A and B are shown apart, each in its own frame.
Chain A
Amino acid sequence: MNLNKIEVVGEHKHFQIREITDSGGYHRRVLTSDMDVSSEVQEIKDKAELEWTDEVKASWTKFQAEQEAKMEGGSNEGEQFGQSNFKG
């Protein structure tokens, strides 16, 4: 796949990566500032170096912790119910 576009979005500077597949279609993925980009193409590495400051990384880490608390689900199933209860 070949890199087609890097979109930097939001306060956490996520990279929305669009690539062109061998068949000519689009493939998408998102890179966040806690990810390892050492195996990415140089353009992505350069963008990460520029955009993902320590402040951005810290903000993203904090946001993730806050989101974890808000995520639906809350408790894990086995903490309150046995597996058989899952089937109702």
Chain B
Amino acid sequence: MRKASVMSMKKNILSELLKFFLASVAIVSIFLFSFYGSGIALHFAMVGLTGAILAQGLNIFYGYCGQINFGSAGFFAIGGYGVALLEKYMHMPYFVSLILSVAIAGLIALLMTLPLLRLREYMLALGTLAFGLAIYETVSKGFTSYTGGEDGINMSKLKIFGTPVGDTFFFYVFLIATLLCLWVSYALRNSRTGRAMVSISQDEIAATSLGVNINKYLVQAFVLSGIIPALAGGLFVKWTGWCSPEYFSLKNSILILLAVVVGGTGSGIGAAMGGFMMFLLQEILVPLAIYEMLAYGVILCIFLLFMPRGIKGGITSFVKWLEGVSGR
């Protein structure tokens, strides 16, 4: 009995030390990076962070609740175009338009739950896919006199107290947004709501019989997985200064889904890692764009067949193995 508790203490100390070490390395490297990182490195980092935010949004609906959603890029577009249109036609300050467009995305997500959440499995996949496609068609071909069609909308540079801000400022904004989303998904996972969501992913009938109101939790999850990509969209288009429909094509919905699978389904930090890596990979692969599709297909199949828990699952089992070795 006593021996067991000593051993578990030892394990705890080890994994806490590991976590502390990783966290401090991350913080120090972020500071060094934001001061000494060159322009292109900052650019890559911000694309990666956008991916991390997007993947966490999907993770709440797909990872926690186990429901498929191919419409993430649609909400990404609503956030981006919301900011761009509010700036172009209403001349709103940036942060007001950001909050407003995120709220609009939440409202649209809430309305979309009325038809979409009657569906499950492949029908839900089709419904959300059609939603994403409809948004993409609207902004790229529909109301071209407002959205500029394939040319997109040019945005002004962000100014704070009259001085234009550079990439470093945006880097911190992206970082704070990512950490905020991470905190949301972490707090959610360890709350009553999050546990109810996970129970839905495991067995809907069993969850209902335990008094979980499935519909309520799915609505909450879907709205969250609409708001978070919209936030990413609002930040992303202002940073690039150009709101173009090509960011919001269906390919990105698939990429976000791929990111969650690669990072680790059902884990906030895993999804963030997956999103960061996949979007970074996409940005690095631009000169090799011809091999992109093949790479995505191979990655998706390898992870689904051999590593269904993703990178996060792999790290967790590695840490467990490490603890087992040191405990002996």
* Chain A complexes with chain B: no
Which B residues form the contact surface with A (CB < 8 A)?
A: none
Which A residues form the contact surface with B (CB < 8 A)?
A: none
